[in-house]
Amino acid sequence: MVLDKEVKYLPGVGPRRAALLASELEVRTVGDLIRCYPFRYIDRSQLNHIAEITPTMASVQIYARVVSVRLLGKDGKAIDDPGNRWGAVTRLVAKVADDSGEMELVFFKGIKWMHAKLTPGTVWIFFGKPSVFGDRINLVHPEVDPPTGSVNTGILSGVYPSTEKLKNGGITGKVMQKLMAEALDEALPAVQETLPEYILKEKGLVPIQYALRQIHFPQDQTALSKATFRLKYEELFFLELSLVKQKFVRSHAENGIPMPRIGQPFNDCFNALPYELTGAQKRVIREIRDDMRSGRQMNRLLQGDVGSGKTMVAVLTCLIAIGNGYQACVMAPTEVLAQQHFANISRYLKPTGVKVVLLTGSTPAKARREIHAGLEDGSIGIIIGTHALIEETVQFKALGLAVIDEQHRFGVDQRSRLWSKNPGGMPPHILVMTATPIPRTLAMTLYGDLDISIIDEMPPGRKKIQTLQIGERKRIAMYNFMREQIAKGRQVFVVYPLIFESEKMDYHNLELGYEEIMKQFPLPEYKVAMVHGKQTAEEKQFNMSAFAAGRANILVSTTVIEVGVDVPNASVMVIESAERFGLSQLHQLRGRVGRGAAESFCILMRGDKVSRESQKRLDLMCRTEDGFILAEEDMKMRGPGDLEGTAQSGLPLKLNIASLSHDGLILTDARNYALHILEADPLLEAPVNAPLVAELRKSRYNIRDYSKIS
């Protein structure tokens, strides 16, 4: 099929350029190429007069005559006749003129070819970005087209994604346009409509062939808008259809453990609480309760900002399972976090008499044997632990609920092993928790097949964390402030950026920072601990525990402490080079303080040179503590991928044209429409839905099913 034809067979490509297109743009076939869309458009309908050009213009297009051409060497001297010495020529300067004036064009590449083309007296259309050299405006490497016959037949010219390697390999914007015109002429007739006729009609979408032609070579702005909407809707619709189909089939077919009762343990714990639950916590518990008594397996994501009370919701959910005769497990990504959960949950469970235990890699063999026995005979109600919970030796009498904290920290295989833990064969209910606020549109996509609950309300009385940003000149004042806080019995985090594990400069900065802190806060008056990714698990655990237990005043760290560490006595978070962090990460780090009764502070140390975008992030951090507002802004600034991983890799499907940051309304409509279609035809068996089935069979929609913890 022509769409599967390798791109190297297109005229003007060949093996070398094909390899570049594959490595730089992931374009391997003709079908890939026509789905590689422009990211912006330039209006080529207007001609500018030379006299009206200013250096602030984004781009200009002139119709001009070549007046003269000069070849210059490295020393700036003219080379009149290069003969066989073209290698000595470093640039070509052409003077061009129209009725309003003259200007220069400069070329540093393709000089010999351009010299042959731009002979004095010839007339061309030149297009480029104005720049200033000395006191003159010029165009550097403008596009050169004959007055007729340009590939830019429409008034809007697409600009394609590019890299330095592509440009050096000769794949310029103009070459991409030529390749695209070639590919569309050859392949467009073979493109099948992916959406049924009724969807096109109901949603007012243009046909796929029209959309693909117009997205690359739009005849006008209206045609471009229609093509863009069609392609965005199609992309988001199939993404959501593939996700909600998994959820729909599971929710209608997957039997779950029925848990009709609330039970005494729940009531005992609830009635003994020293405070009132927030409205958001009560709402979420009702949603969970409805799932657990429905007879279908619960698969719910619980989102809540740092300090919003997710742990309390998890405890009460575990007690519903206990009240129905089942056991529960809580799985945390680190030993420190597991120990923290154990301490908190043990406190909450005191009025209930429910037995709770902790299992981690460092649990002694004797205690481990007792735990295994207690799980198998049912005397242990709740077990909290790390990945040690999924070892084969850990078996339950009746596992009814699995709570997974910060689930993205666990591998797919690790999580899926929980399914085999229930001897009855029926899958346990699943509650996935995250303290990383995720924008609604991204949560719908990353966890599209889970039900989502959000605790969007903070408990009353929680103290505001004072957030301020300072420069290097105030460092001494900051050290004095740290001493004051330590004198009051408080503790301090100092965090350094570690963007890449292998980045030596970052470790160098961390080590220098540690030395500086040791100098400013010497023994025996002060004790400083350090934690980073190159330490062994034991070293990390020892130093983190020393700080958590109050044996160290200051913890110098990389971002390994961002999730979950609870040290109520820590009142100051200092973030070095804060401009290098994203908003969500800054917010997570700030959430490590403000957990006790003392007033808390987050100090953002910034460098001397901060980009406008970084400054915007720091200003926003100082203005709000709402993690969901920050997450939305972070996604707008940085794109969705960085919130879950790198680039777009956090997404279950690569998006070619749609943006979760900007197309939330389309995404919501596409998701609701997908659900509407599945309500009427759950398995997409109706003949009218055959195009949907054909599209979903493509490998790109083989999206992993988060709902089955896999």
Least confident of 220-229, 427-436, 553-562, 688-697: 553-562
Residue 368 β-bridge partners: none
Give domain status of residue 572, yes or no: yes
pLDDT at position 701, please? Answer: 72
Alpha-carbon Rg for the chain in angstroms: 31
Instruction: Return the percentage of the chain with pLDDT > 90, whole number.
Output: 47
CB 415 within 8 A of CB 407: yes
Average pLDDT over residues 584-613: 86
Q: Does 419 share its domain with 530?
A: no
Grade residue 529 by pLDDT with cuts at 50, 70 and 90: very high
Residue 359 β-bridge partners: 385
pLDDT at position 97, please? Answer: 95
Whether residue 524 has a cis bond before it, omega within 30° of 0:
yes
Q: Does 605 share its domain with 543?
A: yes
Q: Does 271 share its domain with 411?
A: yes
Per-residue pLDDT for 595 more than 80?
no
CATH code, domain carrying 103: 2.40.50.140
Grade residue 287 by pLDDT with cuts at 50, 70 and 90: very high
> How far is it, in rounded angstroms, from Cα 519 to Cα 542?
22
3-state secondary structure 376-408: HHCCCCEEEECHHHHCCCCCCCCEEEEEEECHH
What is the DSSP code string of 526-582? --EEEE-TTS-HHHHHHHHHHHHTTS-SEEEE-GGGSSS---TTEEEEEETTGGGS-
Least confident of 29-43, 242-256, 411-425, 625-639: 411-425
Q: Which of 609, 624, 639 is the last residue of a domain?
A: 624
Give domain status of residue 512, yes or no: yes
Per-residue pLDDT for 475 more than 70?
yes
> How far is it, in rounded angstroms, from Cα 355 to Cα 397?
14
CB 656 within 8 A of CB 37: yes
Least confident of 63-67, 148-152, 433-437, 555-559: 148-152
Give domain status of residue 634, yes or no: no
Residue 493 β-bridge partners: 555, 573
Average pLDDT over residues 73-77: 87
Q: Does 279 share its domain with 418?
A: yes
Q: Which of 434, 454, 489 is the last residue of a domain?
A: 434
Residue whose token pair is 């790390």: 386
Query: Which amino acid, 123?
Result: V
How big, in percent rounded to 5, are the helix, strand and coil portions of the chain?
45, 20, 35
Give domain status of residue 323, yes or no: yes
pLDDT at position 706, please? Answer: 43
Q: Does 506 share its domain with 612?
A: yes
Give domain status of residue 657, yes or no: no
Closest among 135, 74, 127, 67 to 101, alpha carbons compared: 67
Q: Which of 573, 605, 624 is the last residue of a domain?
A: 624
Q: How far is CA 688 from the centre of its chain?
A: 36
Q: Give per-residue pLDDT as tens, 636-679.
A: 776 554 433 323 334 556 788 987 767 878 988 998 899 899 98
Closest among 379, 406, 405, 375 to 392, alpha carbons compared: 375
Q: Does 11 share its domain with 72?
A: no
Average pLDDT over residues 505-512: 65
3-state secondary structure 681-705: CCCCCCHHHHHHHHHHCCHHHCCCC
The 10 Å Cβ neighbour count of residue 44 is 19
Residue whose token pair is 């392949």: 187
DSSP class of residue 199? H
Grade residue 95 by pLDDT with cuts at 50, 70 and 90: very high
pLDDT at position 135, please? Answer: 81
Per-residue pLDDT for 518 more than 60?
yes
* Tally of domains within the chain: 4
Strand boundaries in 312-428, DSSP class E: 327-331, 356-359, 382-385, 399-405
Residue whose token pair is 């001897």: 423
Q: Does 365 share its domain with 406?
A: yes
pLDDT at position 98, please? Answer: 94
Per-residue pLDDT for 314 more than 70?
yes
Per-residue pLDDT for 710 more than 50?
no
Q: Does 32 share its domain with 51?
A: no
DSSP class of residue 255? B
Residue of 422 and 574 predicted with greater confidence: 574
Per-residue pLDDT for 519 more than 90?
yes
Per-residue pLDDT for 690 more than 70?
yes
Q: Is 36 helix (H, G, I), strand (E, B) or coil?
A: coil
Residues in the chain: 710
> How far is it, in rounded angstroms, from Cα 470 to Cα 475?
8
> How far is it, in rounded angstroms, from Cα 302 to Cα 281?
10
CATH code, domain carrying 400: 3.40.50.300
Give domain status of residue 242, yes or no: no
Least confident of 22-36, 216-230, 338-352, 488-502: 488-502
Closest among 103, 110, 108, 107 to 60, alpha carbons compared: 103
pLDDT at position 705, please? Answer: 47
pLDDT at position 506, please? Answer: 54
Q: Does 614 share its domain with 495?
A: yes
> How far is it, in rounded angstroms, from Cα 323 to Cα 267?
10
Closest among 270, 373, 259 to 322, alpha carbons compared: 259
Give domain status of residue 708, yes or no: no
Average pLDDT over residues 565-580: 88
Residue 404 β-bridge partners: 331, 432
The H-or-E segment that residue 137 falls in is strand 136-140
> How far is it, in rounded angstroms, from Cα 461 to Cα 456?
16
The mean pLDDT of the chain is 85
> How far is it, in rounded angstroms, from Cα 435 to Cα 415?
18
Q: Determine the structural domain holding residue 127 and report its residue range.
A: 45-151
> How far is it, in rounded angstroms, from Cα 9 to Cα 221?
33
Give domain status of residue 642, yes or no: no
Q: Give per-residue pLDDT as tens, 171-214.
A: 888 899 999 999 999 999 999 999 999 999 999 999 999 999 99
Residue of 343 and 584 predicted with greater confidence: 343
Least confident of 378-387, 557-566, 655-664: 557-566
> How far is it, in rounded angstroms, from Cα 430 to Cα 329?
10
Q: What values do phi and psi take at 685, rounded to 5?
A: -90, -20
Q: Does 341 share its domain with 414?
A: yes
pLDDT at position 703, please? Answer: 57
Q: Does 398 share its domain with 480?
A: no
Q: How far is CA 102 from the centre of its chain?
A: 49
Residue of 634 and 478 predicted with greater confidence: 478
CB 314 within 8 A of CB 431: yes
Average pLDDT over residues 213-218: 95
Per-residue pLDDT for 688 more than 90?
yes
Q: Does 275 share its domain with 401?
A: yes
